[in-house]
Amino acid sequence: MKIFWFVFLIMGFMPRQSALAREDGRKPIVVVFEIEDRSKKLGRATLENLTDYLGSLLSKGGFQVVPREHVRERLKDAKKESYKTCYDQACQIELGRELAAQKSLASQVLRLGSRCKVTVNLYDLKKAASEKAGTASGGCSEDDIVASLEAAAKSLLAGSAAADVPAASNQGSRPVSEIEERIAAYERGEHEHAYDIGMAFYNGQMGAKLNFTRARQWLAKAVSHGDVDAKVKLGDCYLYGQGTRKNEKKAFQLYSQAAKAGNAMGQEQLARMYADRLHDHMGKDRPHKEKNLAKAMYWYRKACEQGERAEPCFGLGMMQPSGEKGRAEALKWYMKAAELGDDSVGPLISGIYQSGAEGVPRDLEKARDWLMTCARNGDPLSICRLGLAYAGEANPYPPCVEVNLVEAYKWLAVCVEETPSANQETTILKKIAGEMKPADLERARKEAAGMIDKYVTPQERESKRYLETLPGR
C-alpha cells in the first residue's frame, strides 16, 4: 500500500483531546519540526508528508499546530538556509519562541540492524525542559515507519500515569531532563539512543552539560552498537583531541570504516584527511602526492554524489587543476554545491562565467545573476564581491555589472559591518563616499542601514567587535 493512501486511511484513530494538551482550557501552540531521518531510508517528499501527517495527529490530539509554511519563512528570515533543516535543539527553541509557540516537537527515525525506531519528543519552551517522549519500533518499509510513527505519537498524546497525577502531588518533584530520559531508555535496552546522548554531551544540549569526555564515551558505545554516524563523530574526537588525546591514525580508521559503509560525512572527512596530506607531502616524492590527490578527489566525489551536503562538492571543485578544462570541471561541482544550498560558491561561479572556460562560453549576464542571487541570500563573500563589482573594483575579469556608487556603498557597508578584516572594502567604501553627491550619499546610507539590519546578525556584530579588540588589530 502506498504511503500517501495509508496516511489518509488511518487518520481517525487518535483521541480528540490528550491529557498533555489540556492547559487551562486552551489549546497549546506547538511547532512541529521536520522529522530527522537517521535511517537514510526516506526521500525528501516522504519526509515532508510524514511531518505533515505528524502535525495532523497533534492537531487531532488537541494542539494548535503552527503551519509549516510559517516555519519555512522564519527559517529563511533568520538566515538559516532553507536547505538546512532545524534539527538542533537550540535552533528549535529559538524558532519555536519566535513563532509564539509554547511547545516544540522533534522527531527521529533511527535504524538499528534490520529494525527502525521512531521517536517523538515534546519540548516545553517556557520551562526549557522535555515534557514527554514517545517511541515505537518496527520494520523499515515506508508503511512500517508510518505505523511506528502512529504508535509513537499515540503514546506521546495519551500521556502516562505520571502525567495524569494531579499537579499538587507533583509539587517539589524535579523535572526530568531529556538527557536523563534518553539514558534511562538506553539502560532499558534501547541502544539506538547512545548516539544522541553522545551528541548531547558534545554540544551541551537536552539538559546535558558540555563534556567531551562523556561525549566520546557515549559515541564509543554507539559505535559498538553499529551506529555508523557515531564512527564519524568519534573520529572527530580523536582528530581534534576532544575528550581524549589526539590520534589521527584512529580518526583515519574510523572515517575509513564509515566511508566504506556509505556514510557521506565519513567520506567527506576521509577526503579532507587525504587533502591535508597533500600539504604534508608537497616537498616530497611526487607519486605520494598524486596518490593522495586521487584519493581525496575520489572520496569527495562519492560524498558529493549522495546529495546530502554541499561541502564535498565545493571541495571537489576547489581541487580541480587550473586552466580552462579544470575551470569547466570545477563549475560542474560548484553548481552542485549551489544546488545543495551553498551560496558561498556564487563568486566562484560568477568568475568562471566572466572568464569563460572549455565548453563554457563567457556569459556576463549569468555572472551577474549568480553574484547577485547569492548576495541577496546573505552570503558574506558574495556581498563583498558585489560591492566591489559595483565600485568597479571586482577582479581582472570583464565587469558583470555597471559601476553604481550608490549600490556599491550599500553592499560594501554590509560587508564592512559583518566581515572581519574587510580592509580593502573599508578603504574603497571611504573612497566612494568622498566621490558621491550629498543627496546620493544620504540615500545610500539610509538604504544601507536597512540592509545591515536584514543581513547582519547580532552575533556577527559582536564577533566583529571582539576581533577588533585583539592585539595586532
**Tens-digit pLDDT profile for residues 48-92:** 888 888 888 888 888 888 887 777 777 666 554 443 467 776 677
The whole-angstrom separation of Cα 261 and Cα 93 is 34
- Does 440 fall in a domain? yes
What's the one-letter identity of residue 215? A
Q: 332 and 187 share a domain?
A: no
Of 279 and 161, which is predicted with more confidence? Answer: 279
What's the whole-number mean pLDDT along residues 145-149?
87
What's the whole-number mean pLDDT along residues 362-372?
94
The whole-angstrom separation of Cα 410 and Cα 57 is 47
Give the domain extent around 38. Answer: 3-163+174-239
Backbone dihedral region for residue 392 (phi beyond 0: left; psi -120 to 50: alpha; all else: beta) = left
Count of Cβ atoms closer than 10 Å to residue 261 Cβ:
12
Q: Which three cell numbers stand for residue 187?
A: 539502560
The whole-angstrom separation of Cα 69 and Cα 55 is 13
Burial 47-77 (b: 16+ CB within 10 A, else e): bebbbebbbbbbbbbbbebbebeebeebbee
The whole-angstrom separation of Cα 448 and Cα 442 is 10
CATH number at residue 35: 3.40.50.10610
The sign of the torsion formed by the CA atoms of 224, 228, 230, 233 equals positive
The whole-angstrom separation of Cα 121 and Cα 153 is 9
pLDDT at 289: 56
Q: 97 and 203 share a domain?
A: yes
**Tens-digit pLDDT profile for residues 96-117:** 777 778 888 888 888 766 678 8
Write down the pTM of the prediction: 0.65
How many folded domains does the chain comprise?
2
Residue at a domain's end among 195, 224, 239:
239
What's the whole-number mean pLDDT along residues 367-387?
93
Half-sphere exposure of 126 (CA within 13 A, CB side): 6
**Tens-digit pLDDT profile for residues 386-411:** 999 999 986 666 688 999 999 999 99
- Does 292 fall in a domain? no
Element (H, E) at 80: none
CB of 151 closer than 8 Å to CB of 136: yes
User: Exposed, middle or buried, 450 (CB in 10 Å: 0-12/13-18/19+)?
Assistant: exposed
Q: By three-state DSSP, how is residue 126 classified?
A: coil
What's the whole-number mean pLDDT along residues 171-180?
65
Element (H, E) at 37: strand 36-37
Which residues have C-beta within 8 Å of that of residue 300, sequence separation ≥ 6? 267, 268, 271, 275, 312, 313, 315, 316, 319
The whole-angstrom separation of Cα 274 and Cα 44 is 31
Q: Are strands 115-124 and 103-112 parallel, antiparallel or unpaired?
A: antiparallel
Q: Are strands 103-112 and 64-65 parallel, antiparallel or unpaired?
A: unpaired
Binned at pLDDT 50, 70 and 90, residue 298 comes out as very high
| DSSP code of residue 455 | H
pLDDT at 466: 65
pLDDT at 174: 54
**Tens-digit pLDDT profile for residues 243-262:** 999 999 999 999 999 999 99
Residue at a domain's end among 239, 258, 277:
239
Residue at a domain's end among 209, 224, 239:
239
Q: 136 and 8 share a domain?
A: yes
pLDDT at 23: 43
What's the whole-number mean pLDDT along residues 137-165?
71
What does pLDDT average to over the chain?
81
Q: 348 and 229 share a domain?
A: no
What's the whole-number mean pLDDT along residues 290-318?
91
Inter-CA distances, 427 with 103, 394, 423, 433, 465, Å: 48, 14, 6, 10, 18
pLDDT at 108: 87
Q: 448 and 367 share a domain?
A: yes
- Does 473 fall in a domain? no
Examine the pLDDT at 18 and tell me if it is beyond 50.
no
Q: 190 and 337 share a domain?
A: no
- Does 269 fall in a domain? no
pLDDT at 360: 93
CB-based contacts of 198-207 (< 8 A; 24+ apart in sequence): 198/222, 198/230, 198/233, 199/233, 202/233, 202/242, 203/88, 205/88, 205/89, 205/90, 206/89, 206/130, 206/177, 206/178, 206/179, 206/182, 207/129, 207/130, 207/177, 207/178, 207/179, 207/180
Q: 213 and 331 share a domain?
A: no
pLDDT at 162: 29
CB of 190 closer than 8 Å to CB of 133: no
What's the whole-number mean pLDDT along residues 333-355?
93
- Does 404 fall in a domain? yes
pLDDT at 6: 35
Of 152 and 6, which is predicted with more confidence? Answer: 152
Q: Which three cell numbers stand for residue 401?
A: 555589472
The whole-angstrom separation of Cα 419 and Cα 296 is 31
What's the whole-number mean pLDDT along residues 29-47?
82
- Does 219 fall in a domain? yes
Binned at pLDDT 50, 70 and 90, residue 26 comes out as low
Examine the pLDDT at 163 and tell me if it is beyond 50.
no
Closest CA to 96 of 79, 75, 80: 75
The whole-angstrom separation of Cα 349 and Cα 342 is 12
Of 438 and 162, which is predicted with more confidence? Answer: 438
Q: 64 and 192 share a domain?
A: yes
